């Protein structure tokens, strides 16, 4: 009888062996793909755009990109200024990452299923998903109303998103710790804080470091955007000035190259850290 | 080395790292003019402010149709930018992945292009495109497309590398052609995972679209900026609330689909 169950999806049609492998999952995949394709085809017609002169616009874009990438030059600012501004952007990213990471650690030990009660854990998860739903730039602008535009608003706004992201990542790595270890410590009479500092923290330290650096890399990109949108300074603000104020695409190109090099260095570092720490 | 020595070394190392981090925090605060005390102090103030001012009132509700139409624009933009970017990213990922690459030079080139696209800040794209396309939806579309493309190539490549090494080897051994290998071996294996990444990007893009909208004058970001500058906080609250609802709804839907397909 067991054969038939093995052969269930297989049948003959016109002398050829056909297989049927429709499960619930494959059907869902298909439905989702069809829905997305239709939406993509219809979508452009749902948008209102004022008339675009496509040939001219494309020509201008190519020309702009040529100026940007092939003839980069500093005009309004100097190379030294660019370096300082990049340092400021990195500093903004660093501050928001470290503050977010500290808060996340405390939230995560109250979120991980093996360390915290379910009610508290769910409350924190819900709180984080509301924070994450508001775009960073809106948080920054909301903070700016009370604290004023500048570094304080930018760091606080970016910190909130960092916190929401890292709490999830940290809690997941805490959950991977073997239940037995925690139980043994509990049986030996260790207090909750003992368990956190002598078992949870050492065992997940490498994951925490690699997740935090990964977030730092992301925050660098966010910090560029915040500098441009919320006048928090840094390289993003220079980028905004040179494109929207001076219309100096040569400089936009140069600034982009500077920002790009730092971003690629950070990406490679993050990947290396991840590879080394996770392998252990 | 004895145990006590090892533990002492570890303690010194930890202290060193903490001191180093504190020094960087202090240095960063100085060059950015960030005042930690002021930051901490402004958090309760902001919370009270949100609770008292950021509440949509009757006047704000009159703007609801306008908010909804801009929100719809943002959603459509995010979805079509993500799906079209995913199609392009799929082919790049196939050529760039270690298991399905044609040769190393092409693989290196595709990976390099994706890395450049990913790491050039989305702001730079938006600012350059707005010069040639003007304050238009198309600007937002291209800016989102480019950054999504860069990210998805990386995600797809990792997915392909993880999921299908064995299948590819088996198909190659039976003499399947390259396209058979890709469409019969790689695609079915990795499809659920890739869709899951696509949903993640749609959700991310709604947030990025707000930022891009602010810079390029389109979508919900433009509306937020407008009412922010008019100090019309009731409408601001309405806009924020509508974004929260949409993002959480999409997150919920994508989680549901993910659970069904993975």
Name the band, by pLDDT with cuts 50, 70 and 90, for residue A265.
Answer: very high
| Beta carbons within 10 angstroms of residue A238's beta carbon | 28
> How far apart (Å, rounded) are the C-alpha atoms in residues A72 and A51?
31
Contacts A–B by Cβ distance under 8 A: 211
Say if residue A280's pLDDT is above 70. no
The pLDDT value recorded for residue A1 is: 38
Category of B14 on φ-ψ map: left (φ > 0), alpha (ψ -120 to 50) or beta: alpha
Residue B79: per-residue pLDDT = 93
Average pLDDT (B245-253) is: 90
> pLDDT tier at A183 (50, 70, 90 boundaries)?
confident
As a whole number of angstroms, the distance between CA A22 and CA A26 comes to 6
Q: Is B43 helix (H, G, I), strand (E, B) or coil?
A: helix
- pTM attached to this predicted model: 0.86
What is the rounded average pLDDT of the residues A210-220?
92
**Of B45, B119, B191, which is closest to A146 when you measure between CB atoms?**
B45
Contact call for B215 and A228, based on CB within 8 A:
yes
CA angle, residues A109, A205, A269, in degrees to nearest 5: 125
Measured between alpha carbons, how far is B235 from A209 in angstroms, rounded to an integer? 41
When the pLDDT of each residue in chain A is averaged and rounded to a whole number, the result is: 86
Average pLDDT over residues B5-26: 87
Q: Give the mean pLDDT of A259-274.
A: 89
Q: Which two tokens stand for residue B64?
A: 């609801």
pLDDT, residue A3, reads 44
Tell me the nearest-neighbour CA distance from B232 into chain A, angstroms: 12
Q: B94 near B107, Cβ under 8 Å?
A: no
Name the nearest CA neighbour of A237 among A18, A81, A95.
A81
Look at residue B11 and tell me whether its pLDDT is greater than 50.
yes
> Are B38 and A43 in contact (CB < 8 Å)?
no
Q: Chain B residues with CB inside 8 Å of A228's CB?
A: 123, 127, 215
Q: Which of B34, B49, B260 sits opposite A95 (nearest CB)?
A: B34
- pLDDT tens across A106-161, in order? 999 999 988 888 999 999 999 999 999 999 999 999 998 888 888 889 999 999 99
Give the DSSP letter string of B133-182: H-SSHHHHHHHHHHHHHHHHHHHHHHHHHHH-HHHHHHHHHTT--HHHII
Residue A21 has pLDDT above 70, yes or no: no
Q: What angle do CA B201, B212, B143 make, to 5 degrees?
A: 65
Q: How far apart are CA B139 and CA A99, in angstroms?
A: 35
Provide Rg for chain A, Cα atoms. Answer: 26
Residue A17: phi and psi, rounded to 5, are -85, 125
Contact A143, A156 (CB under 8 A): yes
**Which helix (H) or strand (E) element contains residue B127?**
helix B122-133
CB A188 within 8 A of CB A195: no
Does the beta-carbon distance from B127 to A239 stay under 8 Å? yes
Of A47, A130, A141, the CB nearest to B244: A130
Identify whether the C-beta of residue B81 lies closer than 8 Å to the C-beta of residue A36. no
pLDDT at B75 over 80: yes
Question: Is ipTM beyond 0.95?
Answer: no
CA-to-CA dists, residue B24 to A92, A156, A208, B87, angstroms: 11, 18, 19, 42
| Closest Cα in chain B, distance from residue A40 (Å) | 5
Closest residue to A133, CB basis, from B128, B131, B247: B247
In a mutagenesis test of the B interface, which of A22, A70, A225 is the best target, namely the one with the most B β-carbons within 10 Å? A225
Q: What is the mean pLDDT of chain B?
A: 87
Contacts of A40 in chain B (CB under 8 A): 79-80, 83-84
Q: Are A152 and B132 within 8 A, CB to CB?
A: no
Could you read off the pLDDT of B105-153 as tens digits, one per residue? 998 898 888 888 888 888 888 888 888 888 888 888 999 999 899 999 9
Of residues B34, B35, B121, nearest to A221 (C-beta): B121
Given this model, what pLDDT does residue A5 score?
44
Which residues on A lie below 8 Å from B45 (Cβ)?
A: 146-147
Return all residues near A249 (Cβ < 8 A) that are at least 6 apart: A64, A67, A68, A243, B128, B131
Disruptive mutation site among A87, A138, A214, A235 for chain B (greatest number of B CBs within 10 Å):
A138
Task: For residue B134, count other CB atoms closer than 10 A to its CB.
Answer: 17
**Whether pLDDT at B1 is above 60:** no
Q: Which residue from B77, B25, B211 is spatially nearest to A135, judged by alpha carbons?
A: B211
A241-244: long-range pairs with CB below 8 Å, 24+ = A241/A76, A242/A75, A242/A76, A242/A77, A243/B124, A243/B127, A243/B128, A243/B131, A244/B127
B42 contacts A147? CB cut-off 8 A: yes
Per-residue pLDDT reduced to its tens digit, B55-72: 888 888 888 898 999 899
SS3 assignment, position B7: helix
CA angle A97, A98, A102 (to 5 degrees): 115
Please indicate whether, in this complex, the C-beta atoms of A133 and B244 are within 8 angstroms of each other. Answer: yes
Percentage, residues of chain A above pLDDT 90 = 36
**What value does the mean pLDDT take over residues B232-259?**
90
Whether A169 shows a pLDDT value over 90: the answer reads: yes
CB contact under 8 A, B83 and A37: yes
Q: In this predicted structure, what is the pLDDT of residue A4? A: 46
Mind giving me the DSSP string for A248-260? Answer: -HHHHHHHHHHHH
Burial of B95 (0-12, 13-18, 19+ CB in 10 A): middle
Q: Do B76 and A247 touch (CB under 8 A)?
A: no
From B206, B62, B41, B58, select the one nearest A138 (Cα to Cα): B206
pLDDT exceeds cutoff 60 at A7: no
Distance separating alpha carbons of residues B215 and A196, to the nearest angstrom: 44
State which residue of chain B sits closest to A23, comparing Cα positions. Answer: B261
Selection from A127, A87, A74, A112 nearest residue A241 by Cα: A74
Neighbours of B61 (CB within 10 A): 13
Of B76, B132, B260, the CB nearest to A24: B260
Separation between Cα atoms, residue B158 and residue B161, nearest integer Å: 5
pLDDT of residue B51: 87
């Amino acid at each position: 009888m067991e054969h038939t169950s093995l052969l269930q999806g297989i049948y003959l049609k016109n002398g050829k062996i056909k297989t049927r492998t429709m499960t619930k999952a494959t059907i869902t995949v298909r439905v989702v793909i069809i829905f997305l394709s239709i939406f993509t085809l219809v979508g452009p017609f749902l948008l209102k755009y004022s008339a675009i002169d496509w040939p001219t616009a494309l020509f201008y874009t190519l020309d702009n990109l040529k100026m940007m990438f092939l003839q980069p030059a500093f005009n309004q600012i100097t190379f030294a200024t660019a370096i300082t501004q990049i340092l400021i952007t990195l500093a903004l990213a660093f501050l928001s990452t470290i503050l977010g990471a500290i808060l996340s650690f405390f939230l995560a030990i109250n979120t991980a299923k093996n360390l915290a009660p379910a009610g508290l854990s769910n409350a924190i998860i819900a709180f984080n998903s509301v924070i994450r739903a508001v775009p960073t730039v809106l948080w920054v602008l909301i903070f700016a109303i009370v604290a004023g535009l500048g570094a304080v608003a930018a760091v606080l706004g970016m910190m909130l998103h960092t916190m929401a992201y890292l709490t999830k990542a940290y809690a997941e790595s805490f959950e991977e710790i073997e239940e037995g270890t925690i139980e043994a410590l509990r049986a030996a009479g260790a207090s909750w804080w003992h368990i956190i500092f002598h078992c949870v923290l050492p065992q997940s330290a490498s994951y925490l470091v690699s997740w935090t650096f990964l977030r730092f890399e992301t925050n660098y990109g966010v910090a560029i955007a915040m500098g441009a949108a919320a006048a928090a300074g840094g390289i993003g603000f220079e980028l905004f000035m040179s494109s929207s104020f001076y219309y100096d695409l040569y400089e936009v190109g140069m600034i982009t190259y500077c920002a790009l090099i730092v971003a690629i260095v950070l990406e490679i570092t993050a990947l290396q850290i991840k590879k080394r720490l996770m392998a252990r | 080395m004895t145990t006590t020595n090892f533990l002492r070394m570890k303690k010194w190392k930890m202290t060193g790292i903490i001191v180093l981090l504190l020094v960087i925090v202090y240095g960063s605060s100085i060059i950015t003019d960030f005042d930690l005390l002021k930051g901490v102090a402004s958090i309760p103030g902001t919370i009270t402010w949100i609770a008292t001012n950021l509440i949509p009132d009757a006047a704000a509700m009159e703007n609801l149709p306008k908010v909804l139409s801009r929100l719809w624009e943002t959603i459509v933009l995010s979805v079509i930018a993500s799906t079209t970017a995913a199609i392009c990213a799929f082919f790049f990922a196939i050529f760039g992945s270690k298991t399905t690459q044609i040769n190393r030079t092409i693989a290196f080139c595709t990976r390099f292009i994706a890395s450049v696209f990913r790491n050039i800040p989305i702001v730079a794209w938006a600012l350059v495109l707005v010069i040639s396309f003007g304050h238009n939806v198309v600007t937002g579309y291209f800016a989102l497309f480019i950054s999504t493309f860069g990210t998805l190539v990386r995600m797809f490549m990792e997915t392909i590398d993880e999921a299908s090494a064995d299948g590819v080897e088996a198909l190659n051994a039976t003499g399947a052609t390259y396209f058979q290998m890709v469409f019969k071996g790689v695609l079915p294996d990795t499809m659920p995972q890739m869709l899951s990444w696509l949903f993640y990007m749609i959700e991310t893009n709604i947030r990025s679209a707000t930022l891009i909208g602010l810079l390029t004058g389109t979508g919900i970001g433009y509306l937020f900026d407008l009412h922010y500058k008019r100090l019309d906080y009731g409408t601001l609250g309405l806009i924020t609330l509508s974004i929260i609802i949409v993002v959480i709804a999409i997150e919920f839907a994508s989680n549901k689909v993910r659970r069904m397909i993975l």
